[in-house]
Structure 1
Amino acid sequence: MKRSLLLFLTISSLFMYSQNQNLKLASDIYPPFTDVEGEKGFALEIVQEALNRGGVQIDPTITGFTEVLDGINTGTYHGSAALWKTEDRENYLLYSEPYLENRLILVGRKGSDVSAKSLKELKDKKVAIISGYAYGASVYTSLDVVLIPGKSDQENLEKLLTFKTDYMLVDELLISYLLNYQLNDISRFLEIGSEAFMIQPLHLAILKNMPNAQKIIEDFNSNINTMMSDGTYNKILELNWIQSDVDGDGVLELVLHGDSAGREAPASYYKLMTETAMTESTERYYINGEVYDGWQVVPTKYKTDIIKAANMNNSSSNGLKLKF
């Protein structure tokens, strides 16, 4: 009897602890993925929602990247909401499955050649980048390219349009957002590259010695999969269409936010993970929990003009709208 009671109390305590756990997560500034309070941070919102569904709250901190890693190593922070995976960090951090990707693409003025697949093909060109971003060694070691640092994408856009630079590097997520909300401006002023110069998966990472660390990560992964299919990703990313493998069969689906799919098949969408390959030539559409193989079989009731949610329309107040 005493053993049963002790077991019950132990299980109850662990359950209550996991339901009220608070993670101190640190990230550096990398808009539109992570940013200071009051600005849009897609990655932070996704992580917060996925952890909340598992009964875990977060206490986010935005600081310099060196301070992020130092704070994790000293135990000041329990981990990071948005971190790249390295062999060294895996020694002390438990990583989630990737939930987003950093994908840098080339952007030039209208009429520019944006077919380059690497910076090596842009010899003597001026390329605008964001100061302090962790672009990776391949960017900073491109000695034949003139890198022009700027404080923001807006500043770099202004340099591009005033011929102070030839190109700028922009994350594909931001471009997808702009194509959704500022298509006329993009079409009029910019050329967008089709291949990413750099791809880095983003993970939630927490210290391995955290109580319930394995369960937190497992619950997070499960909740992320659900969020990809139930419209949560679309809502947070403020995009009508995203592409992901919602049923885990290795075939990608285009997932709609809401039930207004548009009168024609979507011309653009954001692919959550580039490593997953289509195994069929026909596009598959996931609408209100149903999969449709091809646009022609999508029910007519969904083929109406896209109605964007109120929070999707308020693009001028979330720090992502670029001024042309």
Structure 2
Amino acid sequence: MRIAIVLAILFPAAVWAEQPLVLVSDPWCPVACAASDPRPGYVVEIAKAVFEPAGYRIDYQIVPFARAEAMTNSGDAAGFIGVLKLPKRQNWAFPEQAQAQSRVCFYTRADSRWLYAGATSLTNQRVGTIRGYSYGTEIDEVLRYAKVDQVSGLNGFKRGLAKLQAKRIDAVVEYELVAQYQQFASNASLRNAGCSQMADQLYLAFSPARSDSPQLARMLHDGVQKLRKTGELKKILQSYGINEP
């Protein structure tokens, strides 16, 4: 016991590195997929490629969005994959560059003729969203004009699609990157009815409750740059059908 205490005092970073690095997300392929999937998501694979050679063990967990945010705030999770920089996360540690970027779009059934053209176009439209999500400033603002139908729990987009096909809602909101992957993976018949003007920047961000979070954010940024130079980043992205930005 005394030896362990001395090691913890002399080598605090090494002691941290021996602990599992819990990363959480709700499922939204191709960024973060099922934890049991051989392809768990490209940001998950990037995190493993960066942190595991440094001695960390990635413990990737899929949980509902609200729980993932709570776990990150409390420090029960080291990081949350795929979040926006928002005022409520001002104390989180973000890497310099985003790990994903995508517009937010409205998707309808193939036979629909409705088009998203700003706030007034959403009047009387039943739009499916995921509880607790922020879709960026533009879309969050205009959704106030729609009849929003929220779902909770895991696989919110798939549940929204089921409501869409059953004609219980008129459209669903989702990141274009996710919807395109879903169409590719399941041959879903979706119609893009219009998107936000700007793409959102989404990050693997780290807990405000951990003293090493700024260090982890720097490690992620520097590690991604190394992966880019070696060509490993390109390989990871291409395995998910994504071109390196």
Tell whether the structures are fold-level matches, with TM greater than 0.5. yes
Q: In the TM superposition, what is the alpha-carbon distance from 1:106 to its structure 2 partner?
A: 1.5
Shift in CA distance, 224/113, structure 1 to aligned 2, threshold 3 Å: farther
Q: In the TM superposition, what is the alpha-carbon distance from 1:105 to its structure 2 partner?
A: 0.9
Corresponding residue of 2:218:
218
Q: In the TM superposition, what is the alpha-carbon distance from 1:136 to its structure 2 partner?
A: 5.6
User: Is 2:171 the counterpart of 1:174?
Assistant: no
> Structure 1: any 5+ residue segments left out of the alignment?
1-8, 245-324
Q: Which residue identity is paired with 2:167?
A: F
Query: In structure 1, how many angstroms separate the alpha carbons of the residues matched to 2:51 and 2:18?
Result: 11
Query: In structure 2, how many angstroms separate the alpha carbons of the residues matched to 1:68 and 1:179?
Result: 26
Corresponding residue of 1:147:
148
Corresponding residue of 2:3:
none
Query: In structure 2, how many angstroms separate the alpha carbons of the residues matched to 1:85 and 1:48?
Result: 23
- Structure with greater Cα Rg: 1
Corresponding residue of 2:4:
none
TM-score scaled to structure 2, two decimals?
Answer: 0.68
5 Å matches for 1:1-324? 13=11, 16-17=14-15, 20=18, 22-25=20-23, 27-32=24-29, 33-34=31-32, 37-38=35-36, 40-91=40-91, 93-96=92-95, 97-101=97-101, 103-110=103-110, 112-113=112-113, 115-135=115-135, 138-139=139-140, 142-150=143-151, 152-178=156-182, 180=184, 185=187, 189-193=189-193, 195-196=195-196, 199-207=199-207, 210=210, 213-228=213-228, 230-232=231-233, 235=236, 238-244=239-245
**Superposed CA offset, 1:31-64 (max 9, x none):** 2244653355443333233322443323334445
Corresponding residue of 1:306:
none
Cα RMSD, aligned residues only? 3.9
Query: In structure 2, how many angstroms separate the alpha carbons of the residues matched to 1:220 and 1:86?
Result: 20
Q: Secondary structure, in 3 states, of the residue corresponding to 1:38?
A: coil
Query: In structure 1, how many angstroms separate the alpha carbons of the residues matched to 2:208 and 2:59?
Result: 18
Q: Which residue identity is paired with 1:95?
A: F
Q: Which residue identity is paired with 2:47?
A: V
Maintained 8 Å contact 2:101/2:201? yes
Q: Secondary structure, in 3 states, of the residue corresponding to 2:103?
A: strand
Shift in CA distance, 108/22, structure 1 to aligned 2, threshold 3 Å: same
TM-score scaled to structure 1, two decimals?
Answer: 0.54
Q: In the TM superposition, what is the alpha-carbon distance from 1:71 to its structure 2 partner?
A: 3.9
**Superposed CA offset, 1:206-240 (max 9, x none):** 34674654443222112223445625455457433
Q: Secondary structure, in 3 states, of the residue corresponding to 2:243?
A: strand
Q: In the TM superposition, what is the alpha-carbon distance from 1:131 to its structure 2 partner?
A: 4.5
Query: In structure 1, how many angstroms separate the alpha carbons of the residues matched to 2:46 and 2:27?
Result: 15
Query: In structure 2, how many angstroms separate the alpha carbons of the residues matched to 1:134 and 1:199?
Result: 13
Of the structure 1 ranges 96-105 and 48-57, higher mean CA displacement relative to structure 2 is found in: 48-57
Query: In structure 2, how many angstroms separate the alpha carbons of the residues matched to 1:173 and 1:108?
Result: 16
Q: Which runs of 4+ in 1 moved over 6 A?
A: none
Q: Which residue identity is paired with 1:98?
A: A
Query: In structure 2, how many angstroms separate the alpha carbons of the residues matched to 1:131 and 1:237?
Result: 31
